[in-house]
Amino acid sequence: MPSDKPTNNHLMRRREAAVPRGPFNVAPIFAARAAGARLWDVEGKEYIDFCGGIGCVNVGHNHPRVVQAVKRQADQFLHTCWHVSMYEQYVRLAERLNDLVPIPGANMTAFFNSGAEACENAVKIARTFTGRSAVVSFERGFHGRTLLGMSLTGKVHPYTAGFGPFAPEVYRLPWKPFFHPPDASDEEIEAGALATLEDLFAYHVEPEEIACVILEPVFGEGGFYPVHPVALGVLRRVTEAKGILLIADEVQSGFGRCGRLFASEHYGLVPDMVVMAKSLAAGMPLSAVTAPSEIMNSPEVGGIGGTFGGNPVSCAAAHAVLDVMLEEKLPERAGKIGEKVMTAFQGFAAAYDQVRNPRGLGAMCAIDIVDPHTGLGSNDRAGKALAVAREKGLLVMTASGNVLRTLMPLVINDEELERGLNILSDAIAATP
Ligand SMILES: Cc1ncc(COP(=O)(O)O)c(C=O)c1O
């Protein structure tokens, strides 16, 4: 009897006919269900998941407490619109984040839907607070796909090519002095970062015109390079001295991923604003901007917000995420996961000519896949390794084309983690 169960191939053909190629896919598979660190496709094949919905399910797929919170809220009301009829879940979540972000004092939080939207709003708020218009971001940085999100983003393909003109008054700093300085003394790294900022002020834009600098403490889409602590120290000092707000985009690095609730905490960084999304609500759409109240209150009434921002079901999910994160000590677990992954990655770099540059912070780890003859990044080899890994039951993805990155749920157990790393090792070995 012919089965009427959909296959990945069949659904793929429908997808190709009905959906444009722009919204990319990591794997040609369709999900049937997911739990913890595993996912099953419509054909019943099981995968260990090192992607976690691109870093959105740090508490694991379908954590029972999150699912229960979502169901309970769905039974009460799905949406009133915060601007029409407020609800306590929004206020309480703001109170919790105000206390949790690495900014001391009286903070306030506003909620939005996506990471891009939160980055845009952080810039709007910084502009009204400072009365300045210019914004500084980094080469390799990624802040989303909206007009301002792409204008802030420092990578051409696939994010900005063909989509101009872009938002004006955005200036970009080179990434290397801050994220990958040459092997040098702290004094030399400090001097390099300082000189780069002086060049920015001398040749591109006056510091008195700059509202904010937006920075990912660890590049996400830009290849998982953690910012260098000495260079970050310079940036913090200079921005403070010049009255420029420093925005930490913790969309990918936050919520336990890097071994602390926020990656900024590793550096002792006190940013002026924190942008959050992704794992904040375990896959429900929710993003947030938190900063001291005098900054957050600078836009006038009605100046920020949106129809869906801070949806009550998403807020309910986020409360459960925070409970789980703190009770199950997931940031600590990320540290342990990261140690195991880095040990494995160093082994890969020693064993395979095509693997270079293991790096990361906590469980936000990566390796470069290169052409062993030239040392140049090889997107082709990385793509083939992903395909072999998938065949063997591991979902893993790249950043910047040739960078294999890990975003596994932090509830992954040791056996799943080891099995996933072994599959990855075999997949790389099979694609020399
Ligand atoms: C650091 C960072 N900022 C912003 C964004 C944009 O988030 P979204 O895709 O939810 O708009 C992302 C998404 O990957 C990100 O990693």
Question: Is 293 in contact with 110 (CB distance < 8 Å)?
Answer: no
Paired tokens of 56? 């959105």
Percent of residues in the chain assigned helix, strand, coil, to nearest 5: 40, 20, 40
CA distance linking residue 66 with residue 316, whole number of Å: 8
> Which residues have any ligand 1 atom within 6 Å of their CB?
114-116, 119, 142-144, 216, 220-221, 249, 251-252, 277
Å from CA of 275 to ligand 1 middle: 10
From the list 301, 324, 303, 288, the residue with the least C-alpha distance to 98 is 288
- Which atom of ligand 1 sits closest to the CA of residue 216? 1
- Residue 296, amino acid: M
Q: Where are the alpha helices (DSSP H) in 226-378?
A: 229-242, 293-296, 312-327, 330-351
Res 3: pLDDT? 62
Res 106: pLDDT? 98
Å from CA of 161 to ligand 1 middle: 18
CA distance linking residue 50 with residue 250, whole number of Å: 19
- Which atom of ligand 1 sits closest to the CA of residue 250? 1
Å from CA of 219 to ligand 1 middle: 11
Cα-based distances in Å from 327 to 109, 257, 365: 23, 16, 24
- Which atom of ligand 1 sits closest to the CA of residue 116? 11
Out of 56, 258, 278, mutate this one to test ligand 1's pocket (max ligand atoms within 8 Å of CB): namely 278
Q: Bridge partners of 405? A: 366, 397
350-353 contacts at long range (C-beta below 8 A, 24 or more positions apart): 351/425, 351/429, 352/428, 352/429, 352/432, 353/432
Question: Is 132 in contact with 245 (CB distance < 8 Å)?
Answer: no
Q: Bridge partners of 365? A: 360
CA distance linking residue 400 with residue 412, whole number of Å: 25
Å from CA of 1 to ligand 1 middle: 46
Tens-digit pLDDT profile for the chain (432 aa)? 456 789 999 999 999 999 999 999 999 999 999 999 999 999 999 999 999 999 999 999 999 999 999 999 999 999 999 999 999 999 999 999 999 999 999 999 999 999 999 999 999 999 999 999 999 999 999 999 999 999 999 999 999 999 999 999 999 999 999 999 999 999 999 999 999 999 999 999 999 999 999 999 999 999 999 999 999 999 999 999 999 999 999 999 999 999 999 999 999 999 999 999 999 999 999 999 999 999 999 999 999 999 999 999 999 999 999 999 999 999 999 999 999 999 999 999 999 999 999 999 999 999 999 999 999 999 999 999 999 999 999 999 999 899 999 999 999 999 999 999 999 999 999 999
Å from CA of 187 to ligand 1 middle: 33
CA distance linking residue 312 with residue 260, whole number of Å: 26
- Which atom of ligand 1 sits closest to the CA of residue 219? 1
Res 203: pLDDT? 98
CA distance linking residue 326 with residue 324, whole number of Å: 6
CA distance linking residue 168 with residue 151, whole number of Å: 8
Paired tokens of 46? 């099981």
Res 2: pLDDT? 54
CA distance linking residue 424 with residue 429, whole number of Å: 9
Contacts of 302 (CB under 8 A, 6+ apart): none
